[in-house]
Amino acid sequence: MSWWIYENWTVERGGKAIVHKGACAFCKEGRGIHKEDSGRNGMWHGPFSTKGAAYSYARQLNRARTDFCSFCSKAT
């Protein structure tokens, strides 16, 4: 299983970094939900082999909020 981080610097003051399973419908192995990514709002980081490694990297991004995807990450 792979893990990815979506770093978004526009949605919240100070931005956020959200950890997703690669199979998450919002992640799609780092491709996201849009056909094309403009790069204006954020970027994907990964893949990471473990949830812990992804979270550790996400914390290093120093965003105001670092969290796990509420839709896909709770089960693991």
Q: Which CA distances in Å does 6 have to 16, 17, 25, 32? A: 8, 6, 13, 9
Q: How far apart are CA 60 and CA 68, in angstroms?
A: 15
**Could you tell me the two tokens for 62?**
């120093």
What confidence tens digit (pLDDT) does each residue in 22-63 have? 999 999 999 999 877 677 889 999 999 999 999 999 999 999
Over 60: is that where the pLDDT of 6 sits? Answer: yes
pLDDT score, position 3: 98
pTM of the model as a whole: 0.90
What are the residues whose beta carbons fall under 8 Å from the beta carbon of 74, sequence distance 6 or more? 68
Over 60: is that where the pLDDT of 76 sits? Answer: no
**Could you tell me the two tokens for 76?**
């693991």
**Could you tell me the two tokens for 57?**
């990297």
